[in-house]
Amino acid sequence: MPKIAKDRMEENQRRIMAAALELFTKQGFHGTNIREIAEKVGVSTGAIYTYYSSKEAIFEALVRSYRTRTDQWLQHTCATLKSPLSKNDLKRLAAEVRTLLYSDPRYLLLIYIDVVEFQNQHFTETFRNVPENFRRLMGPPLCGTTTTKTFVYG
């Protein structure tokens, strides 16, 4: 069997993931089958299995992709905050989160699908230790500062 060029392989995986994302977010994971994904991409079901061992492997790839993008976004966003506990930066962070979620609501749909259809197997790590992750990202302003004077609300 001939080897598939790396750029062609990545493009095929991207197309499969895009089709699966559209179907999963419209029909749910269990309401979608590999045949439908293959038809949407315009390939055979066997071609899908060239890239992914199962439908769940496609879902897991989508979750990894979203987690990676979200982690990069969060690192960038937190790095731009000068005083993360100030009223202005907290408002800015909240606005940035809202913009992120509104810009691609499919991310929330994937989380919903995971919670409903998989009992949150795939996104558990995303929400584990949220406070500690913020401390790590924000650095000194959040490390060891828990007094109410640190938080600015008004």
How does pLDDT run across 19-31, given as a tens digit for each residue? 999 999 999 999 9
Question: CA 51, CA 78: separation in Å to the nearest integer?
Answer: 35
Give the per-residue pLDDT at 148: 40
Residue 21 belongs to domain with CATH number: 1.10.357.10
How does pLDDT run across 102-132, given as a tens digit for each residue? 999 999 999 999 999 999 999 888 888 788 8
In a domain, 1, yes or no: no
CB-based contacts of 114, cutoff 8 Å, min separation 6: 63, 120, 121, 122, 123
> How many domains is the chain built from?
1
In a domain, 105, yes or no: yes
Digitized pLDDT (tens) for each residue of the chain, 154 residues in all? 456 677 888 999 999 999 999 999 999 999 999 999 999 999 999 999 999 999 999 999 999 999 999 889 989 998 888 888 899 999 999 999 999 989 999 999 999 999 999 999 998 888 887 888 878 888 776 665 444 444 343 4
Give the per-residue pLDDT at 112: 94
In a domain, 50, yes or no: yes
In a domain, 97, yes or no: yes
Beta-carbon neighbour count of residue 25 at 10 Å? 19
Give the per-residue pLDDT at 36: 98
In a domain, 82, yes or no: yes
* Full residue range of the structural domain in which residue 111 is found: 6-150
- Picking from 29, 134, 5, 143, the residue whose alpha carbon sits closest to that of residue 79 is 134
In a domain, 126, yes or no: yes
